[in-house]
Amino acid sequence: MASSPLDEDGFHSIAWDDAPPRSHASANANAIPLSGIGGLHDVSGDLDDTDGFEAISPTSPGGVESVSDTPTEREREAAYGAGTLRATRDDRDRGEQVGAEEWGGRWMSIEVRDPVKEHEGSKDMYVSYAVKTQTNLPSFPGPKAVVRRRFQDFAFLRDYLVKSFPASVVPPIPDKHRLEYIKGDRFSPDFVERRRLDLQRFADRIARHPTLQRSKLVTDFLTSTEWTVTKHHHISHPPPDAHASLMDSLSDTFINAFSRVRKPDARFVEMMEGLERTEEGLSGVERLVGRGKNRIDDLAADYQDMAAAYQGLGYLESGITEPLNRFAAKMLDFSALLKHMNSTTVEPFLFASHSLLSYTAAHKAVIKLRDQKQLDFEELSAYLSAVVSERDRLAALSSGHAGAPVGLGTYLRDQVDKLRGTDDIHTRRERMRKLDGRIKELQEAVTNAHETSTAFSDEVVKEHSTFELTKQAEMKDLLQTYADGQVEMFQQAMDDWDRIIPLLQRIRVDV
pLDDT tens, residue by residue, 129-178:
999 999 999 889 999 999 999 999 999 999 999 999 999 999 999 876 55
Inside any domain, residue 209: yes
Asked if residue 304 and residue 230 are part of one domain, the reply reads no
Number of domains in the chain: 2
Give the pLDDT confidence of 418-435 residue by residue, as tens digits.
665 555 677 778 888 888
pLDDT tops 90 at residue 38: no
Asked if residue 219 and residue 80 are part of one domain, the reply reads yes
Inside any domain, residue 13: no
Quote the domain boundaries for residue 75. 24-234
CA atoms of 472 and 495, how far apart (whole Å) = 34
Q: Identify the CATH number of the domain in which residue 61 sits.
A: 3.30.1520.10
Asked if residue 66 and residue 205 are part of one domain, the reply reads yes
Out of 195, 218, 234, a domain closes at 234
The residue type found at 6 is L
What spatial distance separates the first Cα and last Cα of the chain, rounded to whole Å?
A: 93
Q: What percent of the chain has pLDDT over 90?
A: 49
Asked if residue 474 and residue 348 are part of one domain, the reply reads yes
Cis amide bond preceding 58, omega within 30: no
Inside any domain, residue 468: yes
Which of 110-124, 246-260, 311-325, 403-417 shows the lowest mean pLDDT across its residues? 246-260
Buried b (16+ CB within 10 A) or exposed e, 388-422: eebbebbeebeeeeebeeeeeeeeeeeeeeeeeee
Asked if residue 494 and residue 401 are part of one domain, the reply reads yes
Determine the average pLDDT of the residues in 452-478.
94
Out of 216, 234, 252, a domain closes at 234
Local confidence band at 386 (pLDDT 50, 70, 90 cut-offs): confident
Asked if residue 323 and residue 224 are part of one domain, the reply reads no
Q: Identify the CATH number of the domain in which residue 419 sits.
A: 1.20.1270.60
- Higher pLDDT residue, 403 or 507? 507
Out of 192, 207, 234, a domain closes at 234
User: Residue 325 burial by CB count (10 A; 0-12/13-18/19+): exposed, middle or buried?
Assistant: middle
Asked if residue 226 and residue 88 are part of one domain, the reply reads yes
Q: Which residues pair with 132 in a beta bridge?
A: 111, 146
pTM of the model: 0.73
Inside any domain, residue 308: yes
Local confidence band at 319 (pLDDT 50, 70, 90 cut-offs): confident
Asked if residue 323 and residue 191 are part of one domain, the reply reads no
Local confidence band at 57 (pLDDT 50, 70, 90 cut-offs): very low
Asked if residue 172 and residue 30 are part of one domain, the reply reads yes
Asked if residue 313 and residue 225 are part of one domain, the reply reads no
pLDDT for the residue numbered 106: 80
pLDDT for the residue numbered 213: 92
Asked if residue 66 and residue 174 are part of one domain, the reply reads yes
Inside any domain, residue 227: yes
Asked if residue 177 and residue 314 are part of one domain, the reply reads no
Determine the average pLDDT of the residues in 1-19.
39
